[in-house]
Chains A and B, each alone.
Chain A
């Protein structure tokens, strides 16, 4: 890959003095879907958070280049404008801020930042309706405050709805499958797949292989104790499903 969209080199990150990411190397090209799998606590959300700009992590070594820019130098909102999107593992409830208002503010802030024209209320609403249909979202849901009183599944669906509205270049989905029943999972996967194209890259973080039946990745990486201990094609996910993560541990220790 000559010029990957995202290039992570020897990334180390710590929380409260504890090193969580211990040397990650990963290159993601435009149009590719990479799955990151790994046991709980292996650092998947930490990686996602570092990429999106969560400031509770301290990057202690390494580099992240995104579209030729030093990603780690950018504020979270600038990363968003540049096309980075994180679907949160635990989406935040924000009572008092309307879902659609928030999305329009976000979308227009991004467009302004990129020097594009803002969407007016009518165009925005039209786009929102289209995307809501894609994710079979209820009108009553999007008119409420951001995630307020949403069920776990509704929150996850709302994340993908936001992604569909913001049309990022790099989408990071952190355990978007957890808390979804099989019907919701299919709808969400269908929404994600509809956004797959040659320009857009995706980092699909999941604990289970199940999601990858519906969002079929090009590559699968296994994260264990803060390192990528194995990479392969989509069949690696099936192998993990069968054998669990245990067989990778010695390999992790050997690195």
Chain B
């Protein structure tokens, strides 16, 4: 035995303690008048947890690819005030993508619920929605549900960070049996502040009642190119036999740091379709934790990340099969160019009771440059014996044979290449149910690569 092994090396710093600036910022929040006692208490324990543990560094097993502490440990992220009239006017234009769909919309500017830019006056039957803290719904116990899934006591100090600091959140509740066709929009806009990077901690609580059907879209945007931090938490409860489609669209600027966590819990025979669509951000870290908590639940996790330049995108997912006969389909796709780096970690947990689980996971990456790097790390933990579980990851360039096929029909080399890049993304978009969002994204991505306006409908992608 060598001497080196006799003394343990100093424990690497898995967390770093937040800077004192956060303490001052929190003091201002704690002093805020009018918050219900239950929330004050929650915030206090969240901040205590954050202070005690701190932000995860790349020494932390779950953050090896993404050192969040290096970004978060900086001394000053400003918590902006409610936007003034001038900012609102600017914000109104920027928040248009959602508004263009014409359905109900909740708009948040720098984390503040902004009724002036929201559209809640004609909510579809069976939908209740509003600011989590500001909605004036007597007898509602929604605050008590905060943190039920996004635990603030454990390893996940980012949920604690969010809970301590969130301004207001979005609350969407679908009544049992309600069949809602309109897409419910939640738009988060960061104004970037003046000079000092700002932070916002968007929060969502989505409750889909028994047998209901609905679509919710969260969109994240930046008003300008200024650096800012978003640390979002979404909690989703899907009751028995309900069907919920939830898309998270991240289109922030390429200076932003975007951290998100989506936690969901599904009851028996429910169907949840979760889409994680990442286009913006200098650094993005998305966590999805889905618990199939009733027999026969089905979950789709559909991810698309497009990263170029020096963008970094890290997706971590946990699919927790807790009950029998669950089916999960997880498809993540990345398109990387420039010096982009991405990481995917997909954990599938099949608990002893979850017999007849059927789980499929795949992560496919299209590498457009020689300097980009994609990582995939599937983790299967199977504790039941009668299950079907497959996984795979691929990293590849544009398919030469497909390129030749297109060119042999007369499509120019450059266009053929762009069509194939679009096609790679279109497969992911094709997993969204037909919706205004899907159409808009198909249009945006088609033009992004081909420089053309696509034909109407899904003709371009054959969907």
A166 touches B461 (CB 8 A): no
Nearest CB of chain A from residue B406's CB, rounded to whole Å: 7
Kindly list 17 other residue pairs between chains A and B, CB separation below 8 angstroms, not including A52-B408, A77-B413.
A53-B408, A54-B408, A77-B407, A92-B399, A94-B423, A96-B430, A96-B461, A98-B463, A101-B455, A102-B419, A104-B455, A106-B409, A109-B412, A109-B415, A121-B455, A143-B459, A146-B462
1/0 per position for A76-101, CB-CB distance to B under 8 A? 11011100011010011011111111
Residues on B with beta carbons closer than 8 Å to the beta carbon of A105: 411, 415, 419
A94 touches B407 (CB 8 A): no
A171 within 8 A of B: no
Residues on A with beta carbons closer than 8 Å to the beta carbon of B400: 56
The answer to whether residues A76 and B423 also contact, given A98-B460, A146-B462 and a CB cut-off of 8 A, is no
A127 within 8 A of B: no
A107 within 8 A of B: yes
Total A-B pairs, Cβ < 8 A? 112
Nearest CB of chain B from residue A142's CB, rounded to whole Å: 9
A184 within 8 A of B: no
A109 touches B460 (CB 8 A): no
B426 within 8 A of A: yes
A80 touches B462 (CB 8 A): no
Nearest CB of chain B from residue A236's CB, rounded to whole Å: 29
Q: Which single member of A75, A88, A107, A121 contacts B407 (CB below 8 Å)?
A: A75
Give B362-389 interface residues, CB cut-off 8 Å to A.
none
Nearest CB of chain A from residue B141's CB, rounded to whole Å: 45
A162 within 8 A of B: yes
A200 within 8 A of B: no
A110 touches B410 (CB 8 A): yes
Nearest CB of chain B from residue A131's CB, rounded to whole Å: 15
Nearest A residue to B456 via CB reads A121
B410 touches A107 (CB 8 A): yes
B410 touches A166 (CB 8 A): yes
1/0 per position for A131-151, CB-CB distance to B under 8 A? 000000000000111101000
B305 within 8 A of A: no
A73 within 8 A of B: no
Q: Which of B402, B406, B461 has its CB near the most chain A CB atoms (within 10 A)?
A: B406
With A and B bound together, what is the CA distance between A104 and B463 in angstroms?
Answer: 16
With A and B bound together, what is the CA distance between A80 and B406 in angstroms?
Answer: 10
Nearest B residue to A172 via CB reads B408
Q: Which of A75, A80, A81, A101 has its CB near the most chain B CB atoms (within 10 A)?
A: A101
With A and B bound together, what is the CA distance between A87 and B192 in angstroms?
Answer: 55
B405 touches A92 (CB 8 A): yes
Nearest A residue to B407 via CB reads A76
Residues on A with beta carbons closer than 8 Å to the beta carbon of B401: 92
B143 within 8 A of A: no
Nearest CB of chain B from residue A143's CB, rounded to whole Å: 7
List 20 A–B pairs whose Cβ atoms lie within 8 Å, in order of A's numbering: A52-B408, A53-B404, A53-B407, A53-B408, A77-B410, A77-B413, A94-B405, A96-B423, A96-B425, A96-B427, A96-B462, A97-B420, A97-B423, A100-B459, A100-B462, A106-B409, A113-B410, A145-B423, A145-B461, A166-B410
Give A97-128 interface residues, CB cut-off 8 Å to B.
97-107, 109-110, 113, 121
Interface size on B, residues (CB 8 A): 32
1/0 per position for A165-206, CB-CB distance to B under 8 A? 010000000000000000000000000000000000000000
Query: Which A positions have Cβ atoms within 8 angstroms of B?
Result: 52-56, 75-77, 79-81, 85-86, 88, 91-92, 94-107, 109-110, 113, 121, 143-146, 148, 162, 166
B237 within 8 A of A: no
A97 touches B461 (CB 8 A): yes
With A and B bound together, what is the CA distance between A141 and B351 in angstroms?
Answer: 42
Residues on A with beta carbons closer than 8 Å to the beta carbon of B135: none
Nearest A residue to B450 via CB reads A105
B432 within 8 A of A: no
The answer to whether residues A76 and B404 also contact, given A96-B426, A96-B430, A105-B411 and a CB cut-off of 8 A, is yes
Nearest B residue to A81 via CB reads B410
With A and B bound together, what is the CA distance between A109 and B418 in angstroms?
Answer: 14
Nearest CB of chain B from residue A251's CB, rounded to whole Å: 33
B182 within 8 A of A: no
Nearest A residue to B427 via CB reads A96
B458 within 8 A of A: yes
Nearest B residue to A91 via CB reads B405
Nearest B residue to A163 via CB reads B409
Nearest CB of chain A from residue B164's CB, rounded to whole Å: 43
Nearest A residue to B423 via CB reads A96
Nearest CB of chain B from residue A147's CB, rounded to whole Å: 9
Residues on B with beta carbons closer than 8 Å to the beta carbon of A55: 404
Nearest CB of chain A from residue B182's CB, rounded to whole Å: 27
With A and B bound together, what is the CA distance between A106 and B415 in angstroms?
Answer: 10
1/0 per position for B325-352, CB-CB distance to A under 8 A? 0000000000000000000000000000
Residues on B with beta carbons closer than 8 Å to the beta carbon of A81: 410
Cβ-closest 6 pairs across A and B = A96-B423, A98-B462, A145-B462, A80-B410, A96-B426, A106-B409
B161 within 8 A of A: no
Nearest CB of chain B from residue A190's CB, rounded to whole Å: 22
The answer to whether residues A80 and B405 also contact, given A96-B423, A97-B419 and a CB cut-off of 8 A, is no
